[in-house]
């Protein structure tokens, strides 16, 4: 029996929390951060495109 096997049987709730719930919630947080980042980047790109079009229009 490996050290991990012994540890998981002695600290069952810690094994469950750290191994599954903490991992799942970290994945959720990373996904939320990625979605927020994508929105920020998309809005920045759209703003840049609009500014470039406005400047091109003023030059003409």
Partner 1 sequence: MAINWFKYSAPTTFYGLAGKMIPWFAFSAIILFGVGLYIGFAVAPVDAQQGEFYRIIFIHVPSSILSMFLYLIMAGYAALGLIFNTRLSAMMATAIAPTGALFAFISLWTGALWGKPMWGAWWVWDARLTSELILLFLYLGFIALHASIDDPRRADRASALLAIVGSVNVPIIYFSVKWWNTLHQGSTIKFTGTSMHIAMQQAMFIMLAACWLYAISVVLARVRSIILERERNTVWVTQLPEMNELPKVQQ
Give the nearer residue to partner 1 in terms of CB position, either 5 or 60: 5
Determine if 7 is a binding residue for partner 1 (CB under 8 A): no
Q: Provide the total of helices (H) and of strands (E) in the chain, helices listed first.
A: 3, 0
- List, as one string, the DSSP characters of 12-60: HHHHHIIIIIHHHHHHHHHHHHHHHHHHHHHHHHHHHHHHHHHHHHHH-
Q: How far is the CB of 31 from partner 1 (least distance, A)?
A: 6
Q: Is 33 in the site for partner 1 (CB under 8 A)?
A: no
**Which residues would be at the binding site for partner 1 (CB under 8 A)?**
5, 8-9, 12-13, 15-16, 19-21, 23-24, 27-28, 31-32, 35-36, 38-39, 42-51
């Amino acid at each position: 029996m490996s050290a991990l096997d012994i540890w998981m049987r002695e600290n069952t709730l810690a094994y469950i929390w750290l191994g599954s719930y903490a991992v799942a919630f970290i994945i959720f947080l990373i996904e939320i951060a990625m979605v927020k980042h994508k929105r920020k980047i998309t809005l920045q790109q759209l703003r840049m495109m609009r500014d470039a079009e406005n400047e091109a229009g003023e030059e003409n």
